[in-house]
Amino acid sequence: MAIKDLPIEECYIPGSAACPGCPATMALRIVYKALGKNTVKIVPACCTAVIESLHPYTSFDIPTMNIAFEAAAAGASGVEAGFRMQGKTDITVVAWAGDGGTYDIGIQALSGALERNTNFIYICYNNEIYSNTGIQRSGATPYGAWTTTTVSGKTEFRKEMGEIIQAHHIPYAAQACIAYPEDLFKKLQKAKIIHGPRYIEIMAPCPPGWRFPMEKTVEMGTMAVETGAWALYEVENDKVTFNGRSKLIMEGKVERKPIEDWIKYQGRFRHLFKPKKDIKRIKAIEDHIDQMWERYRKCYL
Amino acid sequence: MKKYDVVTTISYPKKGAMGKTGNWRVFRPILDKDKCVKCLRCWIFCPEATITRHKDDSVDIDYVYCKGCGICADVCKVKAIILEREGKKK
């Protein structure tokens, strides 16, 4: 599939409240293209609740319901049950939450919905911080990263949501990145026709939160995959397949780039380079990623 | 547009819900149609959907809503889009 094959229809309307260079709207456009107009979206408190713009107008041409922070998956379960009772089985129900609403606050509702076998798609766009409320640390923030609540760098490693989701043994789960729109589109298309709970996580580098220039959003996404900090894979009925660049890294056909190539362009890691290079902490990040790939190879190759 | 008679608050889709966001722009992307190879990378990566794709895969930039992030210029492989400071005298 090439970019040319993606549909021309647009359900995202220009003139929203998103920051310039926002990865969430970039991902939303592809999600709308893949799922089509017959979709209902549930949005908890996250950047997207702001991007929607102010009442009485909205920038999304798709029915969207706003709900409390922890209740994205619970709300989606309710909407899906309502449609089921009315006999409207052709509507795709999508819960669209940020990493705060997935990793930390919404994990209980999400786990419950996956366990109940709710027929919906849960999409998490992961920008590794609570960027909507002003860059606080979340469970997805990597080790050493600056946020307003971890001023000298986070001292813990991020959790692996992909593996937590896999433990629910759902029909379809995937990890994608905004820098690879064809891959994301293909995964969404595949998810659309499967019955049961489906989970897709999208890596979304946030310019104001990660402190990099707004034109570099796509480049940061590409680098995240090339350095191995983020893996592109999909899980269908417990069978894990790696895609694209991550497949080559997994099979050892290409070496993953050193993590320094990625983090030195981000202001949130600046304290690791200035005034003195903090070799110990950079190595800790590198080792953590090495361990992650080691685990992947042992389990899925 | 269909209006719904319900008790809850409903917002309706509208172009430019936050006003004409083009005035946020500092750098203006300028497309050179002769250099363009119609790869559509700018169209798919534009976060604001302001790059319109035509039937023949040629593109145009909607300056009324373009926020000037510069992603289109960054992802263009043939450098057909350049950034120019707004209000610069020619």
The residues spanned by each domain of chain A are 10-300
When CB atoms are compared, the residue of A29, A53, A216 closest to B49 is A29
What confidence category does residue A301 fall into, taking pLDDT thresholds of 50, 70 and 90?
Answer: confident
For residue B1, CA distances in Å to A40, A53, A61, B13 come to: 18, 18, 12, 9
Q: What is the count of residue pairs from A and B with beta carbons less than 8 Å apart? A: 114
What pLDDT, on the 0 to 100 scale, is given for residue A68? 93
State mean pLDDT over A212-237.
93
Give helix A181-193 / helix A23-35 axis angle, nearest 10°.
Answer: 40
Could you tell me what percent of chain A has a pLDDT over 70? 100
Could you tell me what percent of chain B has a pLDDT over 70? 98
What is the value of ipTM here, to two decimals? Answer: 0.91
All residues at 6 or more sequence positions from A40 whose CB lies less than 8 Å from its CB, including other chains: A62, A63, A64, A65, A79, A83, A91, A92, A93, A94
What confidence category does residue B76 fall into, taking pLDDT thresholds of 50, 70 and 90?
Answer: very high
When CB atoms are compared, the residue of B41, B48, B74 closest to A25 is B48
Nearest Cα of chain B lies from the Cα of A24 at a distance, in angstroms, of 8
CB contact under 8 A, B18 and A17: yes
What pLDDT, on the 0 to 100 scale, is given for residue A193? 93
CB contact under 8 A, B17 and A17: yes
Q: Which of residues 9-48 of B touch A (CB under 8 A)?
A: 9-21, 24, 39-41, 43-48
Does the beta carbon of B8 lie under 8 angstroms from any beta carbon of chain A?
Answer: no
CB contact under 8 A, A25 and B57: no
Q: What is the CATH number that goes with domain A10-300?
A: 3.40.50.970
pLDDT for B90 beyond 70: no
State mean pLDDT over B45-63.
92
Does the beta carbon of B51 lie under 8 angstroms from any beta carbon of chain A?
Answer: no
CATH architecture of B21-85: 2-Layer Sandwich (3.30)
CB contact under 8 A, A26 and B47: yes
What pLDDT, on the 0 to 100 scale, is given for residue B6? 82
Under 8 Å between Cβ of A76 and A91? no
Q: What are the pLDDT digits (tens) for B26-49?
A: 999 999 999 999 999 999 999 999
What pLDDT, on the 0 to 100 scale, is given for residue B88? 76
Chain B positions touching A50 (Cβ under 8 A) are none
State mean pLDDT over A116-130.
93
What confidence category does residue A98 fall into, taking pLDDT thresholds of 50, 70 and 90?
Answer: very high
Residue of B nearest to A21 (CA): B69
Q: What are the pLDDT digits (tens) for A141-173?
A: 999 999 999 999 999 999 999 999 999 999 999
Query: Six-digit token pair at B31?
Result: 């497309």
* Enclosing H/E stretch for B29: strand B27-31
Give helix A107-115 / helix A72-86 axis angle, nearest 10°.
Answer: 30
Under 8 Å between Cβ of A87 and A127? no
Q: What are the pLDDT digits (tens) for A44-63?
A: 999 999 998 888 899 999 99
CB contact under 8 A, B17 and A15: yes
Nearest Cα of chain A lies from the Cα of B87 at a distance, in angstroms, of 19
Q: What is the mean pLDDT of chain B?
A: 90
Residue A98 to residue A69: CA distance in whole angstroms: 10
What pLDDT, on the 0 to 100 scale, is given for residue A77? 95
Residue A295: CB atoms within 10 Å: 12
What confidence category does residue A109 fall into, taking pLDDT thresholds of 50, 70 and 90?
Answer: very high
Query: Six-digit token pair at A171?
Result: 């029909």
